[in-house]
Amino acid sequence: MLQRETLVIDDAVISDLSQRLNSEVRVSTDTARVEISAVIMDSRQIVEGSLFACVVGEHFDGHDFAQEAVESGATALLVDRELPIATPQIIVDDVRSALGEVAALVSGRPSDAMKVIGVTGTNGKTTVAQMLAAVFNVDGQKSAVIGTLEGDMTTPEAPVLQRKLRELHEDGVSVVAMEVSSHSLVQQRVQGTTFAAAVFTNLGRDHLDLHGTQEEYFRAKSLLFTSHGVKQMIINDDDVHGRLLGDLSSDIGDVYRFSMSDIKNPQMALSGSAFVLDGSSFHVHLPGRHNVENALAVIACARAVGVTDDVIADGLESLQTVPGRMELITHDEFDAVVDFAHTPEALEALLRTCREIAPSRRLVVVFGCGGGRDRLKRPDMAAVAGKCADAVIVTSDNPRNEDPDEIIAEICHGFSEATTAEWSAEVDRAAAIRQAIVDAKAGDIVIVAGKGHERYQEFASGKVEFDDVAHIRAAMEARR
């Protein structure tokens, strides 16, 4: 279907769209034979030939910007009610729900011509997606990743996603590993995407500012498996929600479960991990138990789609690092690790991994919490750090519209009589990193958590450049 460069709105297209949406799609009287070359959600980005999607959001209603979009060159409108504007209109029950299918049709449904693997879960999505791409590249299948490291959003909005999938296909990509966030699932950004397989890594506490409860958060994640026709499902059997998801999905498609209990002869070091599974040996350069779990997810997924163990092993071996995921920076006297861990579960897994790998070494952790996000997790982060590290410096993360000092105060409420670590607070993240590095003792592991690959800090006034790795290296130089 990828021969389409423009979509002609005719009776056949409207009938197809109605069937895919399972609801009536109507058109205004002047819509027949209209040609659409792009789907746009932002009236400021309209180009000639655009279909402007009037999405109703939390703060704005796209219908209010329809006239502006038409004046900027929009050919037609996607609306949930006919507007008094002399422009062709496609009328659906809900624009947000229809947007993915419409964008996919305009782009020629590119996911039908590729193998798209969705990866969801609280932690591990980025690493699993990068590992999958490495494995399929070694298998001779040109691969790409759509996710946290590739753009501003973990999962792009539907029009951007479908255009990106088409571009990748035209570039010869045959396998796409896509991180699928809970936000994207409830907002139906991946509607219209065909998934060859889906991976569930785990479920921790995150995004309760959006979902409200852990149950709703799980329901959002499960949508990838229950609402998108996925036939091959790879699920973490060590996670209680994974086991529940496996039970929910067993009547939908083939369920492949992975578990740490399946491996033999695990060998873990700060430089990476090795293990044996079903008689085959595997090695990953990314350290820690959680990265072995990530590798198990990749092995199960690759096996499910026919990749041999030898190729999988070579693919995992080929991936040297993932930016901001247990990224190691070495010094003559000590080591530093940068990681994206920004939930209590992820921070605890990170610290326990370092403790397991290096039981005699002192752990110093620098972390903060983002503003405008789940406030209830803040003291939990301090409780984890105070229990699992030897020294803690609480600092600023991405405060956004909140006062960073107030965020730090909420975090520090989590320190209690049960806290065994020495702790302090420094609102300036650069100063906190510098303090941890300059004061580090021989043999220490300094862990800077929360921002990982990000190259900015976000304040109410906007974003400023900030790179944890760069600041660590600069502090190391200053120490020397």
pLDDT digits (tens, 9 = 90+) for 95-154: 999 999 999 999 999 999 999 999 999 889 999 999 999 999 999 999 999 998 987 788
Write b or e for each residue in 218-227: b if 16 or more Cβ atoms lie within 10 A of its Cβ, otherwise e: bebbbbbbee
The alpha carbon torsion through 290, 118, 175, 282 (nearest 10 deg) reads 20
- Assigned CATH for 327-479: 3.90.190.20
Indicate the helix (H) or strand (E) that contains 89.
strand 89-91
In the structure, what pLDDT confidence band is assigned to residue 212 with cuts at 50, 70 and 90?
A: low
Q: Do residues 457 and 429 touch, judged by C-beta distance below 8 A?
A: yes
Residue ranges of the chain that CATH labels 3.90.190.20: 327-479
Q: Are strands 34-36 and 7-9 parallel, antiparallel or unpaired?
A: antiparallel
Q: Compute the distance between CA of residue 347 and CA of residue 103 in angstroms, rounded to an integer.
A: 38
Kindly report the backbone phi and psi dihedral angles of residue 302, in degrees, each rounded to the nearest multiple of 5, phi listed first.
Answer: -65, -40
Q: Compute the distance between CA of residue 260 and CA of residue 264 in angstroms, rounded to an integer.
A: 9
Locate 63 and state its tokens. 């219908």
**Rounded to whole angstroms, what are the CA distances from 344 to 42, 357, 435?**
36, 20, 23
**pLDDT > 70 fraction of the chain, expressed in percent and rounded:** 97
Locate 479 and state its tokens. 């120490």
60: CB partners within 8 A, 6+ apart: none
Q: Over the stretch 296-345, which tens digit does the pLDDT of each residue have?
A: 999 999 999 999 999 999 999 999 999 999 999 999 999 999 999 998 98
In this prediction, residues 397-409 reach a mean pLDDT of 96
Q: Do residues 340 and 452 touch, judged by C-beta distance below 8 A?
A: yes
In this prediction, residues 340-364 reach a mean pLDDT of 93
In the structure, what pLDDT confidence band is assigned to residue 206 with cuts at 50, 70 and 90?
A: low
Residue ranges of the chain that CATH labels 3.40.1190.10: 110-318
In this prediction, residues 44-60 reach a mean pLDDT of 92
In the structure, what pLDDT confidence band is assigned to residue 29 with cuts at 50, 70 and 90?
A: confident
Alpha-helical (H) ranges within 139-213 are 158-170, 182-186, 208-211
Query: What architecture is the 7-106 domain classified under in CATH?
Result: 3-Layer(aba) Sandwich (3.40)
The length of the chain is 480
- Assigned CATH for 110-318: 3.40.1190.10
Q: Do residues 377 and 397 touch, judged by C-beta distance below 8 A?
A: no
Residue ranges of the chain that CATH labels 3.40.1390.10: 7-106
Radius of gyration of the chain (CA): 24
- pLDDT mean across residues, the chain: 92
Q: Compute the distance between CA of residue 467 and CA of residue 452 in angstroms, rounded to an integer.
A: 9
pLDDT at 207 over 90: no
pLDDT at 58 over 90: no
